[in-house]
Amino acid sequence: FGYRQNIFSTSEMPYDDEQIGLKDQITIHFSHVVAENTPKGMAAEKFAELVEKKSNGRVVVQVYPNGMLYSDNNEVEALLNNEIQMIAPTFSKMTNSLPNWQVLDLPFIIENNDELKRVLSGPLSKKLLDELELMNIKGLTFWSNGFKQIASNQPITEVEDFEGERIRMMPSSILRQQFRLLGAEPYASSFGDVYYDLENKIIDAQENTISNIYSKQFHTMENHITLSNHGILCYAVMMNEDFWNSLDEQIQEIIIESLEEMQQWQYDQAEKINTENLKLLEMDDSIQIYELTDAHKHQWQAKLQPIYEIYNNEVNGEYLDELLHELN
Ligand code: LMR
C-alpha cells in the first residue's frame, strides 16, 4: 500500500494548509468482513469521512469491506503486522486471546437497545478495551450491531428443536458452551465461509444479526428466523498501537473526536438498519419469522442456566458482577 512511506512522515504542518504534500498524508487502511450497507460498513465510511474532513484531507481512511483483504482468521495478525492499521472485529472473536471478553457473549443478559448502549459506553467496556494493550493494540471504542437471532433451515423455537442441529457460531468458548447446553452441535467458522457452509449443507443454522443475515443473503438458504435476541453482536474498534503512537497528538485527537461525535449515530444506525432489514424479510413470503414466546424463552434460559456459573468460576466473576451492576 505504500503505507510505510506515509505513516512515519507526520510533519508539524498546520492542518489548514491546503497544499498537503503526499509525504505528509497519512493513510489508515481499515479492513472489515461485512457488507458496506451494514452497521459496521456504514460506520467505517462515516469515520473515514469525519477524519478526512477534520484533518483537511491530511488523514485518509481507506475502507476495505467484505473481507476483500483479510478474513476474521487473519485480520488481527495483519493489524499486528501493520499491514492494515484499523479493524473492528466482533468482541467474540477476541475472546480466545482475551477470555474476560466472554462476559459480553453471555446470553440473555442485555435485554434491549437502551441497556446495550449503556453497557457499550460504560466503565466495563472501557476496561475491556484497555485489555487490548496486552496484545499491543490500541482499543478505541465499541460499535453496535444489535442483537443476534437464530436463522435455520427448519423452525427452531422449542428448545428441543436445537437437538442435533449443526449451528455456525463465531469462535468463542462461551458461545460453544451456549450451543452445547441447548443441545446443538456448534461449528466455528469465519464470516466469509458462512455462505459456502450453508450452500454445501455443512451447517443447518447460525446465530447472527438481521443485518448480517440480510446483507449476505443467508436467508435464501436459512428461511426460518427466530427473533430470539438472545445475545449481542458488537465490534471493538482498534488500531495498531505502534501506528497510533506514531501519530502526533492533534491527529490522535481528531480520531478520538470523530469516534465520539459519531457514537450515538452509530448506535441509532445499528437499530435502524436491523429494523429496516427485518421489514424487508417480513415482506418475503418464502421466509418464516417467529417471535420467541416467553414460554420458549424460559425453556432456553433454563437450559442455559449453568453458563453463568461457568463464566463466574472459570473466567472472571468480577466482570459478570460489574456487568449486572451496570444494568441495575
Ligand atoms: C460474524 O462472524 O458472524 C460476524 O462477526 C460478522 C461481523 O463482523 O459482523
Ligand 1 midpoint to CA 245 (Å): 28
Question: Closest Cα to atom 2, ligand 1: which residue?
Answer: 191
State yes or no: pLDDT of 108 exceeds 90. Answer: yes
With a Cβ cut-off of 6 Å, ligand 1 is lined by 33-34, 40, 72, 90, 145, 170, 191, 208, 212
- Beta 137-152 vs 288-291: how paired, if at all? unpaired
pLDDT in tens, 260-318: 999 999 999 999 999 999 999 999 999 999 999 999 999 999 999 999 999 999 999 99
Ligand 1 atom at shortest distance from the alpha carbon of 88: 8
Ligand 1 midpoint to CA 3 (Å): 27
Ligand 1 midpoint to CA 212 (Å): 7
pLDDT in tens, 129-139: 999 999 999 99
**What value does the mean pLDDT take over residues 205-210?**
98
Ligand 1 atom at shortest distance from the alpha carbon of 208: 3
pTM over 0.90? The answer is: yes
Q: How confident is the model at residue 192 (pLDDT cuts 50, 70, 90)?
A: very high
**Amino acid found at 292:** L
Question: Closest Cα to atom 6, ligand 1: which residue?
Answer: 191
- Beta 205-208 vs 185-188: how paired, if at all? unpaired
Residue of 96, 190, 203, 212 to mutate, ligand 1, most atoms within 8 A of C-beta: 212
Cα–Cα distance measured from residue 260 to residue 272, given in angstroms and rounded to the nearest whole number: 19
Ligand 1 midpoint to CA 63 (Å): 17
pLDDT in tens, 48-77: 999 999 999 999 999 999 999 999 999 999
Query: String of b and e for 135-162 (b: at least 16 CB within 10 Å)?
Result: bebbbbbbbbbbbbbbbbeeebbebebb
- Are 35 and 41 in contact by the 8 Å Cβ rule? The answer is yes
Cα–Cα distance measured from residue 8 to residue 107, given in angstroms and rounded to the nearest whole number: 43
State yes or no: pLDDT of 2 exceeds 50. Answer: no
Question: What was the ipTM of the complex prediction?
Answer: 0.98
pLDDT in tens, 224-255: 999 999 999 999 999 999 999 999 999 999 99
Query: String of b and e for 285-312 (b: at least 16 CB within 10 Å)?
Result: eebebbebeeebbebbeebbeebbebbb
Question: Closest Cα to atom 4, ligand 1: which residue?
Answer: 191
